[in-house]
Chain A
Amino acid sequence: MSAPQAGGPGSAESADVNAGRRHFLIGLGVVAAGTGIGIRVMPGLLASGRPAAAPFDFKPHAFVRISSDDSITVIIGKSEMGQGVYTGLPMVLAEELDVNPQRISVEFAPVDPAFNHTHMPGQFTGASSSTQTTFEPLRRVGATARAMLLAAAAKRWGVGVDALETADGGVLRRGGLQRASYGALAEAAAAVPMPQDVPLRERAAFRYIGKPQKRLDGRAKVTGAAKFGSDVQLPDMLVATVARAPVFGATVQRFDDRAARAVPGVVDVRQVPSGVAVYARHTWAALKGREALRVDWNPAPGGSLSTDAMRAEWRALAERRGVVTIQHGDVDRAFAAAAKQATVEYELPYLAHACMEPLNAVAHVTPGRCELWVGTQNQSQDAQFVAKALGLAPADVTLHTTFLGGGFGRRASTTSDFSVEAAHVANGMGRPVRTLWTREDDMRGGYYRPMAVNRVHIAVDAQGKALALEHTVVGKPLMKNSPFAAFAFRNGIDPSSIEGLGDTVYAVPNLRQSAHYTDEPVPILWWRSVGHSINAFIENAAVDEMAALAGRDPLEFRRELLAGRPRHLAVLEKAAAAAGWGAPLPPGRFHGIALHESFRSIVAEVVELSVDGDGAVSVHRVTCAVDCGFAVNPDQVVAQMQSAIVFGLSAALYGEITLEAGRPVQGNFDGYRVLRISEAPAIDVHIVESDGPLGGVGEPGLPPVAPAVCGAIFAATGKRVRRLPVRVGLASA
């Protein structure tokens, strides 16, 4: 259950992965099981099998290890950051292997191409893609292992495979004549030639998939035993804090470390590329030492940035068309023929991810090697960038993945900033060093959800139907400088600026988006649901504004715009009916509704709220309907909807990072307010089954929340909140 530690299975595996896999695999079984012999089904060996019908390349990336002591271990290449892959991926494999998922032990994988994402360059967890991309491959791994165990038993007992069956971790001879556990068959199974094209179970025969399965990390997380990056303890380890530039991009001019070095427990102070590091025997000394440090910084271009000035500049830019990124229909003709039209402006702020676990990593750099322990969503790139920073070959870097105390995209850094910095900090120290970020370091460290100013021009026709939508967005493009730019930033268009709008499910016949891409020295990053967190707001707010222009009900208007999309309509109707849309509410309570598709899942949400005389908003209930194709672990689908709704409400109501004189103002949970339990609404989640493809669930619950909140505020007050967060936008509405 624990994260890989020094000398543990993680490091043994990664050291051996390059040297003759199949032989190694059996060897590893010996290592892992003591006296036992293990078998592992290797993705690489299975790759020669029939390609899956899925739209991605068939590159299975799961290992299973069955040891003679009957322990069954699944090694997952995905990071567990709360979203439930630690449970969901093993249960998929367990279904085909025919073993109760609760019996399975889980290990985090070493960095190895075998665990690469099926359609991204390297090992990566994000884009709500873990289950959709591994569902088929993991089932094949489980089914193939089961077939090999059956073949081993058949040979041992001198019977045909058709005389055998499996049941919860064992092979039985029909009629109760003989039974052998998987562990007892492990050695023999390892010698069985790997079969191809093993049939998979029919969906109707699933015993575990599609039924609620308790989290396999639950016990470790209620006892304090789960190891996060910040919990890694190594002999002789130091703790470092880094004094980083107060303004993005500023460099150290000089520093005075005399007082810092005088703090008991401080052992060294050194300049590193990102600032000045203070090394100490424990965290308290590292913090006190940094307080005592004096650093003068060179001026940087970002030193004059303020979000107020940016907003004014961006609003002016938004008045004219930018680079056209989306074009459907004839927008100009539509506006010329419109019965009613309006132009409005929406402003969305920078947002911090504010994971509960502030960023951190432990690095141990020795001559020619670096070992890292880090909670990351981006293993391969982190290891590569660390190698490059230290002048090592990628194979000289060993990265151990721990549990992540939240991710939300921040731990999928496009620059691998926190891993690379930790490597620099540890370089030359000859002993392990934990680089610990304080909450303020984390919150003021950039990598924000982009700020965006959006000018939206809408029109309806004489029949009150949606006619045209023109969206002009101003903001920094997310993908342009990312590692994915080569395939994700094409023709000068940033895909995150169009996602969710260019492919909007609402039938707006004439649609144009144009973009002004800015380039401030403020690092930006994907933040739970990426471009959808902006575009679902624009899309649904514009639909609400069109409905109001036409004097129509937001639900009824959406029905018309979703005509011909039965899955979307079913989700919309489910949420509306479950919430009681149109039925009388308690006095002072109002409804808003939004629907959005992202990461192949469709989610509709109805928000019920009240607004008091001072403009304070209380959200009482959120009713959510989700069609994710097929719910692999239904209770975790519910959990992810609850999670995304609360996360989205924090942002919609309170979230905002502002800059003054180049400095992020908010540094902790006092300035960057997030939802607390007293503010958390009741949340009802309804899973709508469909025959759609498997969709993601980590992110799709988020995009509809903010527009549904603003729709409900309009119902309550007649005021349109066009600037988020609501705390700011309602006051100026």
Chain B
Amino acid sequence: MIALNVNGVSHQLDADPEMPLLWALRDLLQLTGTKYGCGMALCGSCTVHMDGVPVRACVTPLSAAQGTQITTIEGLSSGADHAVQQAWLELDVVQCGYCQSGQLMSAAALIARVADPSDAEIDAAMNGNICRCGTYPRIRAAVKRAAQIRREGGAS
């Protein structure tokens, strides 16, 4: 059995320790906000937080996730009120939306670490997240806006 803590809830999973966290989240826990895009840590659609650090769930085996605190998009906030979600809504970032859970999780980890990220810091933190709809200009602006919201104490 694998003991997994996701969004503050403990689970016991009867699963292959080599199973990527992505498929456990989606298929075993029905947390489908985390997306499959490449399976090789190339696109970032599956980004979740493991003890607060962004990881690609598609290449993170359950054996590595065991004993950590996993946060998915469903656990980022209770009412779409995390600073990154607020900023994303304010600037109407999303298009098809498929990559956005991963984008938001990468952005949330960045602004938790860097109060006022520069363009270079945004590039470094967000370059692993591909968007085919081309929302990059808005993501860049929204990350800055989210950091500002956070600095002003408006949200988590």
- Please list the residues of chain A having a beta carbon within 8 angstroms of any beta carbon in chain B: 80-84, 214-215, 217-228, 230-231, 233, 239, 264-265, 282-284, 354-358, 403-408, 436, 438-439, 635-636, 639, 642-647, 650, 668-670, 674-678, 680, 682-683
Contact = CB atoms under 8 A, between A and B. Distances in A.
Given A81-B96, A215-B94, A284-B23, A678 B127 contact: yes
Given A642-B134, A643-B134, A356 B45 contact: yes
A284 B20 contact: yes
Contacts of A635: 92
A496 to B, nearest CB: 22
Contact of A82 (B19, B20, B133): B133
B126 interface: yes
Contacts of B130: 356, 669, 674, 676
Contact of B39 (A224, A230, A438, A636): A438
Interface of B is mostly: loop
Given A222-B85, A356-B98, A642-B137, A677 B37 contact: no
Given A215-B94, A218-B94, A228-B98, 4 more contacts: A218-B89, A221-B97, A436-B36, A644-B134
Contact of A219 (B28, B33, B89): B89
B42 A217 contact: no
B94 A221 contact: yes
A357 B98 contact: yes
10 contacts: A214-B89, A221-B94, A283-B27, A284-B16, A406-B133, A639-B135, A650-B132, A668-B38, A669-B43, A680-B140
Interface stretch (B49-57, B99-107, B148-156): B99-107
Given A222-B85, A642-B137, A682-B137, A668 B132 contact: no
Nearest to A443: B38
Contacts of A224: 31-34, 72-74, 101
B114 interface: no
Contacts of B135: 639, 642-643
Nearest to B136: A680
Nearest to A231: B32
A644 B135 CA distance: 10
Interface of B: 15-16, 19-20, 23-24, 26-28, 30-40, 42-43, 45, 72-74, 76-77, 80, 84-85, 88-89, 92-101, 104, 122-124, 126-140
A620 to B, nearest CB: 12
> Which 10 pairs across A and B sit closest by C-beta, in order of nearness?
A224-B33, A646-B134, A405-B98, A82-B95, A221-B97, A82-B96, A224-B73, A680-B136, A678-B123, A282-B27
Interface of A is mostly: loop
B39 A355 contact: no
Among B45, B89, B136, the one with the most A-chain Cβ atoms within 10 Å of its Cβ is B136
A264 B43 CA distance: 28
B94 A356 contact: no
A83 B132 contact: no
B150 to A, nearest CB: 16
Contacts of B129: 677
B134 A680 contact: yes
Given A224-B34, A439-B39, A645-B134, A357 B23 contact: no
A683 B137 contact: yes
Given A217-B97, A223-B73, A674-B130, A358 B33 contact: no
Contacts, number: 181
Contacts of A82: 94-97, 133
A219 B92 contact: no
B80 A646 contact: no
A356 B134 contact: no
Nearest to B100: A221
Contacts of B24: 284
Contact of B139 (A217, A231, A677): A677
B36 A230 contact: yes
Contact of B80 (A83, A214, A223, A675): A223
A202 to B, nearest CB: 28
A677 B72 contact: no
A356 B89 contact: no
B94 A222 contact: yes
B98 A223 contact: no
A230 B104 CA distance: 20
A444 B31 CA distance: 29
B132 A406 contact: yes
Among A83, A215, A231, A678, the one with the most B-chain Cβ atoms within 10 Å of its Cβ is A678
B89 A405 contact: no
A635 B74 CA distance: 28
Contact of B96 (A223, A284, A403, A668): A403
Contact of B127 (A408, A646, A676): A676
Contacts of A217: 94, 97
Nearest to A280: B27
Contacts of A645: 134
Contact of A356 (B23, B35, B72): B35
Contacts of B136: 646, 675-677, 680
Nearest to A219: B80
A436 B38 CA distance: 12
B27 A264 contact: no
B92 A670 contact: no
A185 B96 CA distance: 36
A41 B89 CA distance: 32
Among A233, A356, A406, the one with the most B-chain Cβ atoms within 10 Å of its Cβ is A356
Among B15, B77, B96, the one with the most A-chain Cβ atoms within 10 Å of its Cβ is B96
Given A643-B135, A647-B132, A678-B123, A227 B32 contact: yes
A300 to B, nearest CB: 27
Given A282-B23, A356-B131, A403 B126 contact: no
Contacts of A264: 16
Given A357-B37, A676-B130, A669 B94 contact: no
B132 A356 contact: yes
Nearest to B99: A356
A233 B30 CA distance: 8
A358 B134 contact: no
B80 A358 contact: no
B133 A439 contact: no
A123 B139 CA distance: 33
Contact of A642 (B20, B39, B74, B138): B138
Contacts of A228: 35, 98
A283 B26 contact: yes
Contact of A668 (B42, B45, B93, B101): B42
B43 A356 contact: yes
B80 A405 contact: no
Given A439-B37, A647-B132, A680-B136, A284 B27 contact: yes
A221 B85 CA distance: 10
Contacts of A226: 97
Contacts of B85: 222-223
A407 B132 CA distance: 10
A642 B27 CA distance: 34
Nearest to B98: A405
A355 B132 CA distance: 7
A223 B16 CA distance: 29
B98 A406 contact: yes
A358 B99 CA distance: 12
Contacts of B72: 224
Nearest to B28: A282
Contact of A358 (B37, B97, B104, B137): B37
A41 B97 CA distance: 31
A70 B125 CA distance: 44
Contacts of B80: 219, 222-223
A212 to B, nearest CB: 8
Contacts of B39: 438-439, 668
